[in-house]
Amino acid sequence: MAMADQPAGKSFRLSMLLYDTRYRSMTIQFIMLALFVFGVFWLLNNMYTNLAAANKNPDFAFLSSTAGYDINQRLIEYTSQSTNARAWLVGLLNTLLVAFLGCILATVIGISVGVLRLSKNWIVARLMTVYIEIFRNVPVLLWIVFLNAILSETLPQPKDFKGVDAVASMSFWDTVIISNRGIFVPEPVFLSGSSIMLYVLLASIVGIFAFGRWARTDQETTGRILPTFWIKLAIFVVPTLIVYFMMGQPIDWKLPAFEGRGAIGPDGVAYTKGIFRIDADNGIHIRRSLIALCLALSLYTAAFIAEAVRAGIMAIDKGQSEAAGALGLRQNRVMSLVVLPQALRVIIPPLISQYLNLTKNSSLAIAVGYMDVAGTLGGITLNQTGRALECILLLMITYLTISLSISLVMNLYNNSVKLKER
């Protein structure tokens, strides 16, 4: 086929940047970028000028100064004589603890509620609907304060565990104290030889993942379904117990106990009411504020996760379930082997958003006295040092780093479960 001759190209003119469609989009993008850069530069210059006029140039030296305040819940050693940087780290670890526990609990509750809402049992389905509508339509701050008040008013006080008026007792063979101050659990004391036991425990965890991958491959090739839960449980428990007794029990336990003073009766029990308190040096103290915060964030976020799970399940064609049922699979197997694996590609994207929301909502922890990074760096440290700009900037970077890390991990998982084209 003969082709028409192309017209000779015209010389470039500046007007072509606006009127020629080949250059117009690039021109507009360049202009917007220049305006954005100019705006950022103007704001930074204005901020620097105002700070210099107030003799408050940006300075992060306050991080090395003494914090001067206590933090009740902490995962690492910390005293009031520690630095502000140490307080920042303690608050960061507390935030990560809430985010980790909250995401796990919210996922378990959300998946369970989402599946049960599609149940053929009318009562169960309606109860799950009521739970979702109640929790997602009330601000999470109110749930945090409400659950903290419930734990404070309903759980026994330390004085209720001893004396003639005792109305409470320790749980799990007198090893756990559940009170309105929190939960006290045994604290492990690592003795000689405990490192070997920890190595065996890590090897057992690796073995669980290896066995799970092998069992999944075997099921895909042979169709054989193994009792993976019990086998994984045995891999996790049996080797560790064997090494534990062979090494002469290298891990001891500090059990929570009570301390008090007052009149001592003939049986050695102090009968003066109200003097008993829990010994803070024995056992691990899981504070009421942490429990209330994790429960509130988990129950609130689980309501949104449940709706995402329900949408993902309903997105799967009903014929998939019917075909699996025709093969003789039980309902729970149909859900775990056929429906949920296909629904994950719909569930994961909104699930990532809910994880991010839960992490950022943990900044409300100060409402119940839980010292997270917003309460330490963005609260007491900011007020004591007066370095508002530096503290808020570091706080924003902290939350941004946590959120981007969660997004990265979950997006990698999302890519691994999405449908692969042949």
Q: What is the pLDDT of residue 271?
A: 43
Q: Please give the single-letter amino acid code of residue 137.
A: N
User: Which tokens hold the place of 72?
Assistant: 């009740």
Q: Please give the single-letter amino acid code of residue 340.
A: L
Query: Are the beta carbons of 275 and 258 closer than 8 angstroms?
Result: no
pTM assigned to the model: 0.81
Is the CATH code 1.10.3720.10 the one for domain 84-147+286-417?
yes
Q: Please give the single-letter amino acid code of residue 358.
A: L
Average pLDDT of the chain?
Answer: 83
Please give the Cα distance from 369 to 282 (Å, whole number): 22
Q: What is the pLDDT of residue 100?
A: 94
Please count the other Cβ atoms lying within 10 Å of the Cβ belonging to residue 170.
17
Which tens digits make up the pLDDT trace of 350-407? 999 999 999 999 999 989 989 999 999 988 999 998 888 889 999 999 999 999 999 9
Query: Are the beta carbons of 282 and 253 closer than 8 angstroms?
Result: no
Please report how many Cα atoms fall inside a 13 Å half-sphere around the Cα of residue 228, on the Cβ side. Answer: 15
280 — pLDDT class (breaks 50, 70, 90): low
Name the one residue in this structure whose structure tokens are 């042979």. Answer: 222
Distances, alpha carbon 40 to alpha carbons 90, 353, 394, in Å: 33, 28, 19
First vs last C-alpha separation in the chain? 38
Which stretch of 144-153, 232-241, 267-276, 305-314 has the lowest confidence by average pLDDT? 267-276
Q: What is the pLDDT of residue 178?
A: 85
Query: Are the beta carbons of 358 and 402 closer than 8 angstroms?
Result: no
Q: Please give the single-letter amino acid code of residue 132.
A: I
Which tens digits make up the pLDDT trace of 75-121? 888 888 999 999 999 999 999 999 999 999 999 999 999 989 988 88
User: Which tokens hold the place of 54?
Assistant: 């107030």
Residue among 156, 88, 126, 135 at smallest CA distance from 377: 88
Please give the Cα distance from 227 to 215 (Å, whole number): 9
Q: Provide mean pLDDT across the span 37-65.
A: 84
CB-based contacts of 360, cutoff 8 Å, min separation 6: 399, 403
Please give the Cα distance from 231 to 227 (Å, whole number): 6
Which tens digits make up the pLDDT trace of 137-173? 999 999 999 999 999 888 888 777 765 566 677 777 7
> What are the residue boundaries of the structural domains of the chain, listed by start?
84-147+286-417
Please give the Cα distance from 21 to 28 (Å, whole number): 11
Distances, alpha carbon 230 to alpha carbons 182, 208, 211, 243, 379, in Å: 33, 11, 12, 20, 47
CB-based contacts of 224, cutoff 8 Å, min separation 6: 218
Distances, alpha carbon 270 to alpha carbons 14, 75, 216, 255, in Å: 94, 33, 59, 20
